[in-house]
Amino acid sequence: MTRITFQLHDGTQRTVDVDPDTTLMRAAVDNDVPGINGECNGCATCATCKVQVAESWFDRLPGIDEIEESLLDDAAPRTRLSCQIAITPDLDGLTVAVPISQYA
Amino acid sequence: MNFITTMQPVPDHVPAELVRNYPFVLGNITSGNPYDRMVHDVHRFAPPVFYAMDAYPGGSPAWVVRRFADLRAIYADDTHFTVKGFAPFAMMIGESWGNVPAEADAPLHDQYRALLNPLFTPAALKKLEAKVTSVAEGLVAKFRDEPAIDFRAAFAVPFPVSIVLDLLGLPLERMDEFMAWEHMLLHDLNMEHLQTATRNVVGLFRDVMKERRVHPGEDLVSFALNARIGDRHLTDDEVVGFCFNLFIGGLDTVTTNLCWQFRHLGNDLELQRTLRANPALIPDAIQEMLRFYSPASTFRTCIKQIEIGGVTIKPGDKVLMATLLGSNDPEQFDHPEEFRIDRRPTHLAFGSGIHHCLGHHLARRELTVAMNTILRELPEFRYDSSVEVLTDLGGVIQPRAVPLLLAAAAGSKGASR
């Protein structure tokens, strides 16, 4: 189990324990974490699963490919598409912030 | 010759009690707002999966799946379902190309998307921003002093169509002709019209392809002609399928959403005031409107037997993917009949899974620019409910007009839904 903390826009937190073989987006949607849509269901086209990664964690995540980069145009710094982050044991303790809206 | 053919017998694997009427089939028309009652009545009265004898264009049967969760599972399932041949266009004129990438399955589909996705990302679309805004402002300038307009003809058609024609490098002067073809393709029940329109569109693109091979430009047709998948170029049929897909996907769907969105704003003056006072809420309003008024339906064909909601679906069966049903499923959305600006829903307006709409970033951008521009440039407008407006049902649910009373006349006539 990998423990992930989502910081919600209203100041509250949601901590979930996640099995491997999933993605951060799936973990959020399956646990009803509000604010993450995942409209395309993890195909890296819709950009509605954005999260902002805590500074201490950003460089420890797998790299950003060209497609993800082009979908994150104008996004806040340290933003990632959560569907592109595979859950692995070394992400235990990861904290990400969820925006109020994926559509702003 | 009419498109409706004689009804086929109900297949043995379909229980008689699951054969139901589906009101949104191509050719049906309503004078009301189908999102007020009709769509919610399907959820109220029909089983989760039912069989409609005329749900597929041409009057042949298809399963109708109304629940969001089931639809989303089918979108993600390429083991039991294929997208191949869901649209009848090529077949109707005796050709064999498919819409690219909409009618391709993995792994070919993924190669197409790898090629095409970069064209439609937010980063790539940024250079269109100024153009999109200037088209919107130019159209508003033409009607801002009128007392009343048909918003569909004055804005909802020419705005997105100008942008897509520009992307394809097609002449704007022929817009009316192209739109007549488009209307025949998507809203016409007459088989001869459908064939003629398909031949016209395909003929147009074959001519353009011939010309662009010699004189390539910055347009998407030239892009497709030069594009490679691995070590090969796209075939002529693939380029035709790509162009045709953009033509039917890019010209009509944004028009349709604009129609519903501005009809809604014309009926909900409080929402208009909220958005004028706080334009930052416009993207959230659009997201909820896309859910509320999801207009498009596509099809899947079963290739391996599967059970959905206790119902057996067999290879060869067609399944209707009605986004309007999934986006208004009361099991997924609390009181779907209520418009809530802070809902920020995950809806099915753009589908889901690997076929999630290729152009959705462009569509969202166009819709946002349209609402920003119009609320900034025009004073309060109202929907004129004294005009009877028919709405065409079918694959794209679109009203034939959107009568709006602009400021000059809005005081004298009441407006209600």
**Among candidates A30, A8, A12, which has minimal Cα distance to A96?**
A8
Residue A30 to residue A86: CA distance in whole angstroms: 15
- State yes or no: pLDDT of B294 exceeds 80: yes
Interval B94-104: pLDDT, tens: 999 999 999 99
Nearest residue, CB atoms, B360 vs list A46, A72, A101? A46
Percent of chain B with pLDDT over 90: 87
Interface of A with B (CB under 8 A): 35, 37-41, 43, 45-48, 66-67, 69-74, 101-104
Structural domain tally of chain A? 1
Is residue A37 assigned to a domain? yes
Question: Please, what sign has the CA dihedral across residues B339, B344, B348, B351?
Answer: positive
pLDDT score for A74: 83
In a domain, A104, yes or no: no
Q: What is the pLDDT of residue B9?
A: 85
For each of chain A's 104 residues, which pLDDT tens digit applies? Answer: 899 999 999 999 999 999 988 999 999 999 999 999 999 999 999 999 999 999 999 999 999 998 899 999 889 999 999 999 999 999 999 999 999 999 87
Task: Select from B217, B214, B206 the least CA-distant residue to B243.
Answer: B206
Residue B221 has pLDDT above 90, yes or no: yes
The Cα A48–Cα B261 span in angstroms is 21
User: Is B7 an interface residue toward A (CB < 8 Å)?
Assistant: no
Q: B318-342: per-residue pLDDT in tens?
A: 999 999 999 999 999 999 999 999 9
B340 interface with A at CB cutoff 8 Å: no
SS (H, E, C) B67-108: CHHHHHHHHCCCCCEECCCCCCHHHHCCCCCCCCCCCCCCCH
Distance, in angstroms, between A77 CA and closest chain B CA?
Answer: 15
Q: What is the torsion angle, in degrees rounded to the nearest 10, for the CA atoms of residue B364, residue B365, residue B366 and residue B367?
A: 50
Q: What residues contact residue B348 under an 8 Å CB cut-off, 6+ apart?
A: B68, B71, B72, B75, B294, B323, B326, B327
Split at pLDDT 50, 70, 90, the class of B3 is very low
Query: What's the confidence (pLDDT) of residue B7?
Result: 63
pLDDT at position B410 over 50:
no
Quick one: CA dihedral A33, B290, B323, B119, positive or negative?
negative
| Apex A82 CA angle, A79 and A87, nearest 5 | 125
Per-residue pLDDT averaged across B20-45, rounded?
95
- Give the containing element (helix H, strand E) for B159: helix B158-168
Question: Is B327 part of any domain?
Answer: yes
- Which CATH number do you get for residue A90? 3.10.20.30
From chain A, pick out residues whose CB is under 8 angstroms from the CB of B107.
none
Is B5 part of any domain? no
Kindly tell me if the per-residue pLDDT of B2 is higher than 80. no
CA–CA distances in Å: residue A22 to residues A84, A88, A89: 10, 9, 11
**Is B344 within 8 Å of A101 when comparing Cβ atoms?**
yes
- Put simply, whether B212 touches A (Cβ < 8 Å) is no
Residue B87 pLDDT level (bands cut at 50, 70, 90)? confident
For residue B295, whether the previous peptide bond is cis, meaning omega lies within 30 degrees of 0, is no
Residue A6 is assigned to a structural domain of this protein: yes
- Are B283 and A70 inside 8 Å of each other by CB? no
Structural domains counted in chain B: 1
Tell me whether residue A102 is in a domain. no
Mind telling me how many Å the CA of A59 is from chain B's nearest CA?
A: 23
Report angle CA A16, A22, A26 to the nearest 5 degrees. Answer: 65
- Here the ipTM equals 0.92
Residue A9 lies in a domain: yes
3-class DSSP assignment, residue B277: helix
- Domain holding A16, by residue range, is 2-97
Strands B391-392 and A2-7: unpaired
The answer to whether the Cβ–Cβ distance between B118 and A71 falls below 8 Å is no
Task: Determine the pLDDT at residue B241.
Answer: 95
Q: Give the sign of the dihedral formed by CA B161, CA B167, CA B168, CA B170.
A: positive
Please tell me the distance in Å from A40's CA to the nearest CA on chain B.
4
User: Tokens at residue B193, please?
Assistant: 């019209």
Close Cβ partners of B414 (under 8 Å, ≥ 6 residues apart): none
Sort strands A50-53 and A13-18 into parallel, antiparallel or unpaired: unpaired
Q: pLDDT per residue over B161-219, tens digit each?
A: 999 999 999 999 999 999 999 888 888 878 899 899 999 999 999 999 999 999 999 99
Residue B91 distance to chain A (closest CA, Å)? 29
Short-list B403, B415, B409, CA closest to B152: B403
Confidence of residue B414 (pLDDT cuts 50, 70, 90): very low
CATH number for position B86? 1.10.630.10
Is B9 within the bounds of a domain?
A: no
- Please indicate whether, in this complex, the C-beta atoms of A70 and B361 are within 8 angstroms of each other: no
Helix B282-292 vs helix B253-267: angle between axes, to the nearest 10 degrees?
Answer: 110
Quick check: A104 and B354 CB within 8 A?
A: no
Tell me how far CA of residue B402 lies from CA of A98, B389, B406, in angstroms: 38, 8, 12
pLDDT at residue B188, as a whole number: 82
pLDDT at B1: 39
At B311, list the tokens: 């119902």
Query: What does B141-154 look like in DSSP terms, one character per residue?
Result: HHHTT-SEEEHIII
CA B350/CA B286 separation, integer angstroms: 13
- Residue A93 in any domain: the answer is yes
Verify whether the Cβ–Cβ distance A70 to B358 is below 8 Å.
Answer: no
Q: How many CB pairs under 8 A join A and B?
A: 67
Residue B281, both tokens: 């809420």
Tokens in use for B246? 């953009």
Q: Indicate whether B4 pLDDT > 80.
A: no
Residues of A in contact with B347 (CB under 8 A): 39
CB atoms B344 and A47 under 8 Å: no
Helix (H) or strand (E) holding B116: helix B108-116
What are the structure tokens assigned to B189, written together? 């029940």
Nearest-CA distance B219 → chain A (Å): 20
**Touching A: B residues 63-102, CB under 8 Å:** 72, 75-76
Residue B417 belongs to some domain of the structure: no
Give B387-402 pLDDT, tens digit per residue.
999 999 999 999 999 9
**What's the mean pLDDT when you consider all of chain B?**
93
Q: Is the peptide bond before B107 cis (omega within 30 degrees of 0)?
A: yes
